Amino acid sequence: MNDAHPFARYRSIIPRWDDFQRALDRPLPTCVWANPLKITPPELEAHLREQGITFEPVGWRPGAYRLQGVARPGSRLAYLAGLYEIQEEVSLLPVELLDLSAGQRILDLCAAPGSKTAQIATTVGPRATIVANDRNFRRMRPLGRSLDRLGITNTTMMTADGTNLPGDIGKFDRILVDVPCSCEGTSRKNPDATAATEDDFARLCSVQRALLKRALELCRVGGRVVYSTCTYAPEENEAIVDSILQEFGSRYHLVPARLPGFAASSGLVTWRGEHFDPQLKDALRVYPHQHDTGGFFVAALQKSSD
């Protein structure tokens, strides 16, 4: 490969470029996690062995597993019974960085198709209030079916424009903003995914910023908002968070987006002559060759005052 590579614009920021290119040519591993409402991790491991399924525990996330050589894991009885959920490994990161606990009020602002909502609900258990929102009611239908399959009862679904949620919805302790993006990091499972264009940025970035801004307005003092994308583009990642920090000033600060056992790259503080808030180094960038996953970006913002 050479500079005609679809992601060549990121060559200067991606470590071990050759390894990155090779990773994109490999199939993406299947990742599942045990649903604690119905089964324990040891019980799921025993079931997988009985079914002759080879698996490898995900070291940084207890209860999650990589399956090897499994065709159509979503058609298996254990999946249909809600014993496990299928979710890309790197997609587990944003919810893990929400710092969840029982009793919190939690909003998933762009919830469909719902794996992260399910991850939230099964993490906090019944003693929490969860609102799953998405503007596309058609995409919410599979989310509802997924919640039923997994036995989740602590989640309310709503369909609204996340950039303009009414104030009377109240404040939240934790808000996930997994925004619509150019999906560059999904190219291992979606070969049509290519680098974003200026037209993509014009279409996406204003919505992404509006979603993050509304989330911060709905966050309680002391609460946390996690912003995430599955793209490499700094325009959709650091630049969005930087613009919010410039507008809201000292009311918000970034907390390190780090998890034990999961080493990845720091966020960017410069890109093509543009300088971002130094706090952006505490964001997290994941490239496919680092953990044999897709690409991802996560930033966690803590609210210190209204």
- Encode pLDDT of 266-290 as tens digits: 999 999 999 999 999 999 999 999 9
pLDDT digits (tens, 9 = 90+) for 121-149: 999 988 899 999 999 888 899 999 999 99
Identify the CATH number of the domain defined by range 90-303.
Answer: 3.40.50.150
183 is annotated as an active-site residue: no
Nearest to 255 by CA among 275, 227, 288: 227
Catalytic residue among 31, 181, 183, 230: 230
Q: What are phi and psi of 16, to 5 degrees?
A: 55, 65
Calculate the average pLDDT of the chain. Answer: 95
Determine the average pLDDT of the residues in 189-198: 87
With tokens 């130094």, the residue in question is 278
Q: Which run of H or of E encompasses 19?
A: helix 17-24
CA distance 239 to 269: 9
pLDDT score for 5: 85
- Flag whether pLDDT at 4 surpasses 70: yes
pLDDT score for 1: 42
With tokens 């034990």, the residue in question is 260
Confidence category of residue 185, pLDDT binned at 50, 70, 90: very high
CA distance 205 to 139: 21
